[in-house]
Structure formats: structure tokens, C-alpha cells
Structure 1
Amino acid sequence: MRRKPCFAGLLLSCAVFLIFSFQISRKAFFSGGDLPSLSSDKLLPSRSTTNSVAHYAIHEANLAHRNRQLSSVLRSIPTLSILLPDWEILLISSIHTPLSSPESLRDFLCLFHNNATSPANFSGILDFTGRATFKCRMPPSVRRLRPFFQPLLTKSPKNELSSSSSSSPAMELMRWTFLAYEALETEDDVVLFVKGVNHRRGINRPPSDLKCVFGDGDDAIRTAVTSSEQEVFRCRHPNLTTRDDYNKMKITLEIFDARGKSVLVPSVAYYSPRYGGDSVEAKSMICACTMVYNVGKFLKEWVIYYSSIGVEKFILYDNGSDDEISEIVKELKLEGYKIEIVFWIWPKTQEAGFSHSAEYSKKSCKWMMIVDIDEFVFSPSWLNSLEPSKNMLKSLIPAENNGIGMITIMCNDYGPSNRISHPAEGVTQGYNCRIKAEERHKSIVLLEAVDPSLLNVIHHFRLRKEFRWRKMKSSEAVVNHYKYQAWPEFRMKFRRRVSTYVVDWKDPANPTSKDRAPGLGNTAVEPPDWPRKFCEVRDDRLRLLTRRWFGFRTAEGYRMAWQ
């Protein structure tokens, strides 16, 4: 008698049923019917029979049309989505979407194609296009699926699933590793910022292999690329009749290979007039620029100090802060400090941000000091001064017409100085023990001397051929870099390094990089002797100087002006 294969047959039947059910659940998000295939005019490559172009450019109008049907009834916002490192997703509202009050941009969710959701937090408004940005995390259940589809941004995920009648296919997530993300119009050309074209420092595609593309489809206009360095590309203006023609025109980069084939880089960048119109701002002699992330507790000390010695304007490139920095900037501006925040949400783009600043700030700044929020320039010649002077920094600037376009200043790197938490009196008071050897350098650059390529490395720029740079002696000026702070502050550096070409510390690659803390490794675990590390020389010079300048006695004790 033959035995019935009961167990094996049952197991096979269950597996088939589960696979079939999973496929049905994936399709449910798309209002029934077949799982959508990706069409070339929406996302990924298919070769055009007319011009051999791989169409990577997103047609945002199609997205806005698909989601507008949802927005009117279900409180959704049409967006484009980008997959960032660490499973983070950046959502950018459509250029066609009118923005409401900030309160209305709260309580959104990302709704994924397998019905999973995650909170979508409002991040800020892009300064040069006025679009809202949100961030959410990709749920683990979505990470196992391929391909990754763009989520919907909604307040009513249940209604979305039950009421959506859109038959348009969802689009794949754009990848941050290959994207045109920002553009800036100048009087002479357009500066376009693109990730994933020039992969390594010092190795760049020649401009002859590239074209800038304005607009979509058959109406797109192509112009020559005149410069290609790092993530910065300069393009000639398109020949347009009126400013209205290009007020909201998509711009991207086209890459050609040796066979004449080409691809268009996916883009969320737009060609539009400078934000703020044609208003003319009085030019400041010295400005300070830095990229910031959650530095609210440090900002007052930095601004008050530098303003007292001669910085007239501060330009902060905010890399997606979610602390109280906006409120602190408002307070400082009410006190008379001149501060501008540029919302720069793009990760690992420090060099590109400084390039943007060098071009963007030309009309409002003559000299630009490029320093971080934990770096303080001072001259030993100031040590006997009873009070600060706004001429102090100017005394370091070269005389006009002498051919010097940049000065560089060496850094003294300070250690934790036995601190286990952030000093409420400020970093200049709290840290006073440093490494003996001087490290790296920071710069103050004449903006008209910056090379058109806008190339910069570690806080200094390539200069035009007619200019030279000068390295200052430590007896003239130094930078106190409060680099290795108390562990709760220092460990934040493991989140992500802002430089494009610097490996994140969680990555074991390049362990001998000077950017890393010596001997720390690639995990955010506090060494047992951290408070005593990097302490070779006790140096109280700036501590005593700032105490004299900004300290005062109160009934509660001694306080600093920024407390």
C-alpha cells in the first residue's frame, strides 16, 4: 500500500498560499490590479530610440497629479522621496504644492507600499525653492522588499488604503548617492550641486563629458558645463525669453560616455532666481560661515565672542537640526546680531555647502572666515587687552591690493580637561588642556579671490591664479579647537561626519585618518580614561582672556555673558 505524503504536501500548500497572500498584500496599496512596473519617464533607465538617453529625471508633474487626488480629501502632501544613509528617508514637497502654516505640517506619517507606517517629522523649508521637507525611517519590514517604492506622506493612512482611486504606479525611491540636489543662479551662470558624479577627491569628470539640462522631455534646454569639481558644476544660462519661463524649472546633469550614450541624473534641484529678489545688502567686511547640527547650546558663546572681535555677519548652514537653534537665533537677532540661517538638509555635503556659501555670499561679504562652532580664533597679542575690539580680526587681514587672497591659521586641539559633561559657562571656560602639536588649519578667505571652481578642502579654498595665500605664525594667531569635549558631546560625532570625502567613524575604513580620535576605534563607547585624554599642555590663555572680557559677578556667582 502506498503511503500518503500528508506532511510534505501540506507544507508545500502552505508555502504557496503564503507567497500568494504576500503578493496580494503588496498589490493592495496600488488600488488593486497588477503590481506596477516602472515607466522610464518616471524613474529608472530605459533607452530612448531618438537620442540614446537613459531617462533618470523625475517628471514631478506626474507625481503632483497623482497625489493631488489624495490631497484634497485625505490630507496628503505630494512629495518626492530620497533614500539617505541609515535607512532614513527625506521627503520633499512638490514644487506645485502651496504651503500652509507650520502647525499644519505636523502629525504626518510615511505610508509604505506594504502598509507599514513610520512617523514623518517636519524638518524645514528649503530656502531657494520654498518646499517643505520631512524625514521618516524606513520600517524593517520594508527594508527586506525590492524595489524600494516612495512612501506617501499622509495623516490618514487607513483612508489612503480604502479610498485611493489612483491607478498611477508608485515610483522607486531616489538614491542619495546619485542625485542633483541644489542649484544657485549667479549673474554669469548657474551653479549645480550633484552627488555621485565625481566619486573621489581630485578625480573629476571633464566638463566636456557633461551637459546641464533645464526642463523635461522634448522642451528641455541643454547648455555647456564649464567647470566640474567635487559636487559642484557650473553651467551656462539657458537662452530663455522671460524670467517667468524658468522661475520653477527643473535642472539636472547629463553624463555622456565614450560611445555617445548618456544618462540624466535624478534631480530635485530647480533653476530659479536668487531667494530674496534683487535687494542689495550692504557688504560686511568679515563674515563667518559654518555648518551646524544641534549646536544650540554652543551658539551664543560663538556669536558673542566673534562679534566682539570683528565678525559683522554670521551665515549658518543648518544640516537638519532639531534642537532649539532657531529660537536662539531669534533671540540673538533681537539683540542686534546679524545672523542668516541657510537650511541645508543634504547629508555629508560640507564642502558643497562652503562652495555654495562662497558664491551666495559674494554680494554681502568681502572676507569669509570658515570655522566650526567649536573653534575660536585669537591672537596672543590680544592677551593684555582689557576689552575686545571690533578691529581685532581686521588686524589679521592683509592690506588691500597685495595679492593675498587667504590667510590660514593653525589649530590647537583641546581635550576633555577632566570634564564629564558640557560646561555651562562655555567651552572657552570649560576646556584648558590640549595636545602639544598644532593640527590642520582654518582660513579667512577673500571671496573675490576664490577660484570659479569653488573647490575647497578642509576649510580652505583654491584661489584664482593672481592670488596667493599666507600661513600665519602661531605668535600671530591660533585657533583654539575644542575638539575632544566631554563624552556626551563628543559621541555625537559618531552620528555622521559632514565632510563628503571623510569616512563616517562607524565605518572601519581608513582607521589612521587625522579626522578620527586616536585610538578610539569605530564604536561610540567611552574609553575608561576619556576625561584625561589629549592633555599634554595646560593652556589657559583664551580662558582667562574671555573671562576678563565677558565675565561678571552676580549674587549667584560668576557668570559669562552667554549664560
Structure 2
Amino acid sequence: MPIREGADQRRSVGAGARREEEDEDERRTGVWRLTADQGRLDLDRGVSDHLEAFIAMKDRRKRASLLLISRCALALLFFSGFTLSTLRLLFSESYHPSLISSWRTSPAEAIYSDSPASRGLSVGETVLFPDQVLILLKYPPSSRLLTKDEIECVYYSPNTSRPHLRSSPLSIGGQYLDHQIVRCGIPPRGTIVSVALKAQGDLPPGPTHEWKSLAYEAMIDRDNTTIVFVKGLNLRPGRASNHSRFQCVYGSDFTNRKSRLKSEVVSIAQEIVRCRTPSSLLGSPHSRGSIKVSVNVIGKGILSSIARPEFLASPDPPVFIQHRVCICTMLRNQARFLREWVMYHARIGVERWFIYDNNSDDEIEDVIESLANQGFEITRHLWPWIKTQEAGFAHCGLRARDLCEWVAFIDVDEFLHLRTGVHLGSIISNQTSRPDVAELRISCHNFGPSGLKESPREGVMVGYTCRLRPPERHKSIVQPEKLNPTLINMVHHFDLRDGLNYVNIDRNLMVINHYKFQVWDEFKEKFYRRVATYVSDWQKEENVGSRDRAPGLGTRAIEPADWASRFCEINDTGLRDWVVKTFSDPNTGLLPWQQERVL
């Protein structure tokens, strides 16, 4: 039994060993099969990669062959176009080829390629005045206005791209349409003026125009006629001229006959031309900004122009007149008098003020903003055109027409004096009871220095109390809706539509206190330039005896020894007494325009 058990045990151990060997063989066989399968997979991938590489190589060789053939063909074609003389040039020592840019950039363009012009700033127009240069700097709507410290005037000689002279601008104005006004000194003879941004570079000069012959402003009226304001026609003042000798011309380039439009002139008087607007322009409002309008003097030619018509349509739907009485004025450097003038006239019944700023360089913008913040309906309109007061008043009358029933056209040194204390609106109602009355004419009293050597701190109404005895000239309050279509005016009054009349106001009811001859330091400012078109400047030896001049003064800004006592014939304290009683602060005794200065 033991022997048999041992044999069985040996057989069992041997069978187990054989099973382990078989299992190991099977395991090894399985591993081999897995390895073989993986190897076949790797082999397949390798063959595929090599095959793709081979195909790619063949493609590259094929493309290289084609490229070589193409280059050879081009070379043959290239050399076939050369003559023997050309080959000599190619292989001679004297031939030095140079590269020519296909852009053909000029030196000036190269300089300006990184200038502010590449970012939207450009010189739109340049106007040469007798004593300065007006540059209209065009800028994108999103850009802020520049300051005087950021800009300078630059002057170029002909055919040069770099300026040979730089200077600070005389002044920097505000926004005029989509431009900013820059004023530079007169350029030296034979030079061109432009502007430069100190931090960014020079701007190319823009189109330059002589002021003596220029269409400078335009608007499309609500009857679809175009009103053009023109300098240089030299028409007689105060009357309409023969309009058949003129045409209106529209276009972006007046030298191109094919692209310009002509239209009939309806009326022409002084410096104002009214013409029919082409229907194609009326139907394309988006193109109006690029279109200029000018006047063709038949037989003489087309005047230069910077005038782009501004559409002046009536409100749609129509609105009721907002203000009973308004004022239009044109001024230069009168900011120090503006508070007194506005506050006083607001008290007697004026509701709206249109300020036409004729090249001021004082704090006028700040004063107007301050008054507006106090609730006064006052706006500033830049009017840079010198000696164009008649045109400016006509322009203002059109703008005020839909807002104001009556408009007074007076200066900042002129004050409506209501002698009976009646409200201005009541006087107008009483004097215009007849339906044909469309204008009131008010006599002016001229006041002198009244013995003063310095400007009165209380203001002109309280400070100046002595005047000349007889009245001189008049100013008017007019209904802008009833102006004659020619817009003829002599500053003091307007022509009215046919069938309408004016009324002369009784001097016991209302006059204008004109503080014309103030202390010398104030009065001599008038020697700079007169604003009216048909009034001679003080310095010119023209119409020396005219009532528009100071009697006995002459043409030089030299103070006479007796200036403080001149122009004094009657002591007139009527307006002064009313102002002190009405406006003085009970605690301080100050007038409201004085308090503004103290603050």
C-alpha cells in the first residue's frame, strides 16, 4: 500500500508538472501570438508610413520638376525680350540698377504717413484774412477739441516738404460745424501755412483761399432755396441787384465741368445770394456735407468757396413760437460786459439770446456757460468772418425765425431803456396793434466817458451818465418771419416783405442807451476792426467825417487829453436810478453782475 501510494503520488506530481509546463507553453504561445499580432500591426503602420513618405517624395519631385520647367520657360521668355544692347547693359560695369517703389510716395507723403492725418485729423480749409490766417481743422466726431498748447502753426516754402518756420497760434477757437478754428499769423511772402500737433506731427496744408473773394457760408432755407453768403461781389448796399448776371454752382470740384451743377439765382443783394437748389441735392441729404456751393459771375468766373449748405428746415411737426422777445448780437472780446447786458434785458422781458462770436479770444465761452447754468436761454454761434455784421444778422434772423416772435438786433454796449417802466412785451403789443407793423425802430442816445478814467465797477448803466443831446441813428426790433426774402439790412434795420411797415417808437416811451464812448482803455479796442461791412475801419483815411466815427478823433488810437470829458452835454441818470433801485442787493449793495465777479 505504501508503495502504491508513493507511485500514485509520483504520478500526481508528474501530471501537475506536465500541466504547469503545458500552461507555461500556452502562456508563452499566447504572448507570442500577441507579440506577433502587434508586430504585424507595427509592420503595417511602418509600411504605410514609408508608403506615404514615398508618395510624398514622388509628388515633391514631380512638383520640383514642374517648377524647374516653369522657371526655365520664364527665363527663356525673359531673355527673349532683351535686345543686344540690353544685354550689354546687364553685363557692363557702368550699369547700376535701382529699385523703384510701385507706391511712388512723395517726400511730403512719406513724412505725413504717420501724422495725425492718418488718424482722421486734417486741414479742411485755409482762409487768408488781411491780418491773420484762419485754418479750419477737420477732426473725427469722437475726438476732443485741441488746446493752444497742443498745436503750432507751420510755414512751408514752395516745393518743400518740411516747414522752415514754426510759431504758436494767435488763438484756438471752438467747434465750427465739424471743424475747429485755428488762427495763425500772416505767413511770410511766398510761403504756405498749415498746423502741426506737437506730440504727433505736421498736417499737410489744405486748400487756401483769399478772403477778398470767397463764398464762406450757406444754408438751405425751408422753401428749398439756397442762401449763399459771399465776399467780393462789391454790390451796392441797401438794394437788390440784377440777378440775371449770376448763377449758383454746386459741386465738390468746380474745375470739373462734368461734375458741377448750375442753378438760377432768385435774388442777390449786398453779400447775400438766394438761388434754387437742384432737386438732386435735396433728394440726397447724406451727400450735402461733401458738396460746396459758390456763385458764378457770368463772364468773369466762379468765386472760390468753402461754403457747404446747411439744411435749415422747419420743425416737423411744426412747433409753437417759444419766445416772445429775443436778441441777436455780434461781438468780439466783450465777455466782461455780457453778464450785465443779459441780466438787465432778462428783467425787462427778453427771453432768448443768440451770441455771434466774431473771433473773440477772451473768456466769452466760460461766461456764456455760466449764464446758461443760471437758467438764461443763451447760445454762442461762431462767426469767424470779418466785417460781415449785416450777413451775420441775416443768418441769425433765419435761425431765430422758428423760435422767436420778435428779435432785437443790438450790440452788447446798447441797452433798451423803458422810460415808463412798462414791460417790453407790453410796449411791443401796444405799438403793433395794426397787422401791417412788423418792425419797431428805437432811437439811440450816445453816452460818453462821463468824467471817468477807469471802467466803472458797477457796470456801464450805473457808471456812465452823461450823453450827447441829440439822438443818433436807431436800432430795430423785428419779426423775423416777415423779413424780405433778399434779407437786405443795414445793421440798424431790415427790409420787410411787401405791404409791411415799421413804426418809430416815441423817445418818451423807449430809447436805447448806447455806451459808445467809454473810458479810453475800453474805447481803443474798437480800433482793432469794425464789424460792419459798409463802415470804414478806424485806421483808414475813409469817410473821416462819418457819424460812425468818434468826432474829432482821427484815425490813430491816441488818447486825447480831454477824452474823459468829451461827449457830455446832458446828465441822464434815468436808467442808472432804476437799475440801482431794482437790482441792488439790500445787504451788500452790490449788483448781480458785480457779485458774479466777486465769486
TM-score range relative to shorter protein: 0.7 to 0.9
**Corresponding letter in the other structure for 1:398:** T
Selected match of 1:190 from 226, 243, 260: 226
Q: How far, CA to CA, are the matches of 1:276 and 1:237 in structure 2?
A: 17
Q: How far, CA to CA, are the matches of 2:175 and 2:452 in structure 1?
A: 37
Task: Answer yes or no: is the 8 Å Cα contact 2:314–2:402 preserved in 1.
Answer: no
Q: Which range moves more in the overlay, 72-81 or 441-450?
A: 72-81
Give 1:522 shift: 0.6
Distance 1:490 1:279, change over 3 A: farther
Residue 269 of structure 1 pairs with residue 307 of structure 2:
yes
Q: How far, CA to CA, are the matches of 2:549 and 2:382 in structure 1?
A: 27
Q: What is the SS of the residue equivalent to 2:336?
A: helix
For 1:560, the equivalent position in structure 2 comes to 591
Q: How far, CA to CA, are the matches of 2:364 and 2:222 in structure 1?
A: 32
Q: How far, CA to CA, are the matches of 2:293 and 2:441 in structure 1?
A: 36
**Corresponding letter in the other structure for 2:268:** S
Distance 1:431 1:106, change over 3 A: same
Q: Which has the larger radius of gyration?
A: 2
Q: What is the SS of the residue equivalent to 2:370?
A: helix
Give 1:447 shift: 1.4
Give 1:232 shift: 0.6
Task: Answer yes or no: is the 8 Å Cα contact 2:123–2:135 preserved in 1.
Answer: no
For 2:551, the equivalent position in structure 1 comes to 518
For 1:295, the equivalent position in structure 2 comes to 334
Q: How far, CA to CA, are the matches of 2:173 and 2:519 in structure 1?
A: 28
Task: Answer yes or no: is the 8 Å Cα contact 1:310–1:392 preserved in 2.
Answer: no
Distance 1:420 1:175, change over 3 A: same
Distance 1:155 1:278, change over 3 A: farther
CA deviation vs aligned residue, 1:476-496 (integer Å, no higher than 9, x gap): 211111110011110011010
Give 1:159 shift: 6.0
Task: Answer yes or no: is the 8 Å Cα contact 2:439–2:476 preserved in 1.
Answer: yes
Give 1:247 shift: 3.8
Q: What is the SS of the residue equivalent to 2:328?
A: strand
Higher helix share: 2
Task: Answer yes or no: is the 8 Å Cα contact 1:308–1:390 preserved in 2.
Answer: no
Residue 92 of structure 1 pairs with residue 136 of structure 2:
yes
**Corresponding letter in the other structure for 2:286:** D
Q: How far, CA to CA, are the matches of 2:518 and 2:330 in structure 1?
A: 18
User: How big is the alpha-carbon RMSD for the aligned residues of Structure 1 and Structure 2?
Assistant: 2.8
Selected match of 1:116 from 165, 173, 182: 165
For 2:563, the equivalent position in structure 1 comes to 530
Distance 1:213 1:172, change over 3 A: closer
Distance 1:156 1:110, change over 3 A: same
Q: How far, CA to CA, are the matches of 1:285 and 1:69 in structure 2?
A: 54
Q: How far, CA to CA, are the matches of 2:491 and 2:239 in structure 1?
A: 17
CA deviation vs aligned residue, 1:185-217 (integer Å, no higher than 9, x gap): 211111110000134425765211111112133
Q: How far, CA to CA, are the matches of 1:65 and 1:456 in structure 2?
A: 51
Selected match of 1:365 from 379, 401, 404: 404
Task: Answer yes or no: is the 8 Å Cα contact 1:415–1:435 preserved in 2.
Answer: yes
For 2:260, the equivalent position in structure 1 comes to 220
For 1:352, the equivalent position in structure 2 comes to 391
Structure-to-structure mapping, 1:439-458, within 5 angstroms: 439-458=472-491
Q: How far, CA to CA, are the matches of 2:136 and 2:316 in structure 1?
A: 27
Give 1:107 shift: 2.5
Structure-to-structure mapping, 1:240-279, within 5 angstroms: 240=280, 241-257=283-299, 262-274=300-312
> Which gives a bigger RCO, structure 1 or 2 (Cα 8 Å, sep 6+)?
1
Task: Answer yes or no: is the 8 Å Cα contact 2:356–2:383 preserved in 1.
Answer: yes
Q: How far, CA to CA, are the matches of 2:110 and 2:385 in structure 1?
A: 26
What is the identity percentage for the equivalent residue pairs of Structure 1 and Structure 2?
33
Distance 1:372 1:171, change over 3 A: closer
Q: What is the SS of the residue equivalent to 1:133?
A: strand
Structure-to-structure mapping, 1:325-474, within 5 angstroms: 325-382=364-421, 389=423, 391-395=425-429, 397-399=431-433, 401-474=434-507
**Structure 1 segments unaligned to the other structure (5+ residues):** 1-29, 33-63, 383-387
Residue 545 of structure 1 pairs with residue 578 of structure 2:
yes
Distance 1:299 1:550, change over 3 A: same
For 1:501, the equivalent position in structure 2 comes to 534
CA deviation vs aligned residue, 1:458-491 (integer Å, no higher than 9, x gap): 3200111110111112112111111100111100
- TM-score (norm. length: structure 1): 0.78
Q: What is the SS of the residue equivalent to 1:190?
A: strand
Q: How far, CA to CA, are the matches of 1:100 and 1:270 in structure 2?
A: 22
Structure-to-structure mapping, 1:33-52, within 5 angstroms: none
Q: Which range moves more in the overlay, 320-329 or 436-445?
A: 320-329
**Corresponding letter in the other structure for 2:143:** S
Task: Answer yes or no: is the 8 Å Cα contact 1:413–1:434 preserved in 2.
Answer: yes
Q: How far, CA to CA, are the matches of 1:159 and 1:304 in structure 2?
A: 45
Residue 175 of structure 1 pairs with residue 214 of structure 2:
no
Give 1:104 shift: 5.7
**Corresponding letter in the other structure for 2:243:** P
For 2:184, the equivalent position in structure 1 comes to 136
Distance 1:225 1:437, change over 3 A: same
Matched residue count: 474
For 1:77, the equivalent position in structure 2 comes to 122
Task: Answer yes or no: is the 8 Å Cα contact 1:74–1:154 preserved in 2.
Answer: no
Give 1:380 shift: 2.1
CA deviation vs aligned residue, 1:115-161 (integer Å, no higher than 9, x gap): 122222321221xx32111101025xx1xx34x53x1210259965x
Q: How far, CA to CA, are the matches of 1:275 and 1:110 in structure 2?
A: 38
Task: Answer yes or no: is the 8 Å Cα contact 1:411–1:438 preserved in 2.
Answer: yes
- TM-score (norm. length: structure 2): 0.74
Q: How far, CA to CA, are the matches of 2:426 and 2:314 in structure 1?
A: 32
**Structure 2 segments unaligned to the other structure (5+ residues):** 1-105, 158-163, 595-599
